[in-house]
Amino acid sequence: MRNVSFIDTTLRDAHQSLWSTRMTTAMMLPVAPILDRLGFEAIDLVGGAVFDVCVRYLLEDPWERMRIMSRVITKTPLIVMTRGQSLFTFELFPDDVVELTAQRIAANGIRYTTPYDALNDIRNLEVPVRAATAAGLYVAAGIVYTISPVHTDEYYAGKARELIRLGVDAVFLKDPSGLLKPERVQTLIPVLRTAVGALPLQLHTHCLTGLGPICALEAIRLGVDTVHTATSVLAHGASQPPTEWVALNARRMGFEVTLNVDGLQPVADHFRYVAAREGKPLGMVAEYDPFHYEHQIPGGMISNLRSQLRDIGLEHRLDEILEESARVRRELGYPIMVSPFSQFVATQAALNVIQGERYATVPDEIRKYALGYYGQLAAPVDPSVLDRIVGKEQPVTARPGGLLAPALGRVRRERGPFGSDDDLLLAVFYNPEQSAKLVAARPIKTDYPTGRTPLLTLIKELAARRDIASVKLIKKSPVIEEAAR
């Protein structure tokens, strides 16, 4: 039987899904050398909300995180995920910014990138893919899954063929809201397998309705080469399927799995300890929720929305807003409920419900979406609401990135000089106050939580299990030694 490989998401998407993206570099370091030797195809590290939260909330330079982790994880490629032309934020950036970002990702020790576009407008991936390839990065590009009358199997096959024409190294199906069901896997994966041909095909799904693990196994059976999974304690719920479960069951199905599954135990133990110390949740199997397939809003967003409504005494209207979200999405041409469009749709739905008049207030982002400034829509906006959104303004049809003037020269003039191109890009992404706070907080703290005790405790636990190889790996890592002093 053929080989199945695994991409570990524990250090990025898993904690983004379960811990509001609050895993620090220091929390990662004790188990980084262990993950490095287990046989993963790659390890997901930075991207999207992780980059943003590092800057805004953790005050950790994401470029420095890349450098630190790439000095510890030397065997397994580290991944930086980008939102295509939007990179790490909700807005699109000019081509010169996208190109320099790819160069700096590679320069900071990263060897693998997974760009995708939230509208599946492949034009928004042309520059990111070309720039990443030129920088020497392995490019696994994503197409984003959703459910609608227009997002058919053939639609996805066509998008995969467009990606192949860009010269990507692999294609992955990204299911950010955990909408896949086994029966859809049975029709979609064979079609994608044919479209991709000899290129590797990957699956990235979430477990919001509890179906992620069985969908992963069914996808493997039908031709997926690589699955994105998380260490068990940070799997399930809004996160990915558990690596241990998927790997063991794939092996039972007769597939060759070279991943050292038993070696994940100290990783799980470490993050169980971190969760207990920090008051963070562990992943739990989600109950099946048919309503989720109607509104399609990711679980983390629902939690935030509930909290915001509670603050203004309107928590009891949450289900009404979720129902309105499904209606708004239909009217807007079925945007995929992934950042930023899940936020845009939910905001419009909340305004419609709370104000009592639909589309009385329309955020500028909704107007730009309807006019094509983010990319090509999957389906036309309902004519009955289009005039209320855009008025007499005419839509654009050009590649969105091509409409933006180069930015690097302007930022250098207005906010330079900069000590590095990394700092230049931070100035492009963030305002002066945010950038100044980040610079003032350098360097990243690498001791967790303080002193030697937690690290020594982990080493003792590993020694008690006679996992001497992991103990040696931890002890001889230069960054870990520095953190322990």
With 80 as the cut, is the pLDDT of residue 157 above it? yes
Burial label, 426 (beta-carbon count in 10 A; 0-12, 13-18, 19+): buried
Residue 357: strand, helix, or coil? coil
d(CA 93, CA 440): 26
Q: Are 222 and 235 in contact (CB under 8 A)?
A: no
d(CA 102, CA 388): 39
Question: pLDDT tens-digit profile of 239-279?
Answer: 999 999 999 999 999 999 999 999 999 999 999 999 988 99
Beta bridge partners of 196: none
> What is the structure's pLDDT at 479?
39
With 50 as the cut, is the pLDDT of residue 332 above it? yes
> What is the structure's pLDDT at 392?
87
d(CA 93, CA 85): 6
Tokens of 50: 């992780």
> What is the structure's pLDDT at 456?
57
Question: pLDDT tens-digit profile of 339-389?
Answer: 899 999 999 999 999 999 999 999 999 999 999 999 999 999 999 999 999
Label residue 482 by pLDDT band (50, 70, 90). very low
- Average pLDDT (414-420) is 94
Q: Are 102 and 416 in contact (CB under 8 A)?
A: no
With 70 as the cut, is the pLDDT of residue 174 above it? yes
With 70 as the cut, is the pLDDT of residue 477 above it? no
With 70 as the cut, is the pLDDT of residue 453 above it? no
Question: pLDDT tens-digit profile of 37-64?
Answer: 999 999 999 998 999 999 999 999 999 9
d(CA 297, CA 79): 26
Read out DSSP for 177-215?
T----HHHHHHHHHHHHHHHTTS-EEEEE--TTS-HHHH
Question: pLDDT tens-digit profile of 274-305?
Answer: 998 899 999 999 999 999 999 998 766 777 78
With 70 as the cut, is the pLDDT of residue 224 above it? yes
With 80 as the cut, is the pLDDT of residue 468 above it? no
d(CA 456, CA 475): 10
With 90 as the cut, is the pLDDT of residue 448 above it? no
Q: Percentage of the chain with pLDDT > 70?
A: 92
pTM: 0.90
